[in-house]
């Protein structure tokens, strides 16, 4: 009877174990597919549901843009007469917005026009909306990628 060299068994077995381990690590590693670019979401404390939509097409680097912010209660009823402030910037660059966007019109039924927003470079921009009505306050944060 011919003896099989020890290395001919051990090396392939170790190779299979190594491939299995690397596959497990790769397949279970967290994915970082980029920022959340949803245009509709629940606010941070889930008091409201907010959505944003640019007016005049998708935003570009350079010109001033206006947006419509829609705010509803979780039951779908519009949030009327809300006080809204706007802030944001580029978190990856550690700077704020180059302009001071403001609510210029309450369009009714929970729709608010935000004007004076300018994106000065490509990248990930963060838009923060502080929303309050009577004793309810919350914040909606959106990412816009140019």
CATH fold of 40-145, please? Immunoglobulin-like (2.60.40)
Distance CA 11, CA 113 (A): 67
pLDDT, one tens digit for every residue, the chain (146 residues): 566 666 566 666 666 676 766 556 656 656 667 899 999 999 999 999 999 999 989 999 999 999 999 999 999 999 999 999 999 999 999 999 999 999 999 999 999 999 999 999 999 999 999 999 998 999 999 999 99
Q: How far is C-alpha 104 from the geometric centre of its chain's CA atoms?
A: 24
Task: Decide if 119 contacts 60 (C-beta within 8 A).
Answer: yes
In this prediction, residue 37 carries a pLDDT of 95
In this prediction, residue 29 carries a pLDDT of 55
Domain range list for the chain: 40-145
Sheet-wide strand order for 95-96: 95-96, 83-90, 124-133, 136-145
In this prediction, residue 5 carries a pLDDT of 66
Distance CA 55, CA 107 (A): 13
Q: Which residues contact 58 (CB under 8 A, 6 or more apart)?
A: none
3-class DSSP state for residue 94? coil
Residue 123, class by beta-carbon neighbours within 10 Å (0-12 exposed, 13-18 middle, 19+ buried)? middle
Distance CA 87, CA 99 (A): 9
């Amino acid at each position: 009877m011919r003896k099989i060299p020890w290395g001919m068994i051990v090396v392939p077995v170790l190779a299979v174990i190594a491939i299995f381990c690397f596959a497990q690590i790769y397949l279970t590693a967290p994915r970082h597919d980029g920022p959340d670019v949803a245009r509709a979401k629940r606010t941070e404390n889930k008091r409201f549901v907010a959505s944003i939509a640019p007016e005049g097409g998708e935003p570009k680097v350079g010109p001033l843009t206006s947006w419509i912010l829609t705010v509803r209660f979780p039951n779908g009823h519009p949030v009327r007469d809300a006080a809204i402030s706007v802030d944001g910037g580029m978190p990856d660059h550690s700077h704020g917005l180059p302009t001071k966007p403001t609510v210029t019109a309450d369009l009714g039924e929970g729709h608010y026009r935000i004007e004076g927003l300018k994106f000065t470079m490509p990248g990930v921009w963060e838009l923060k909306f502080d929303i309050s009505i009577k004793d309810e306050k919350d914040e909606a944060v959106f990412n816009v990628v140019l």
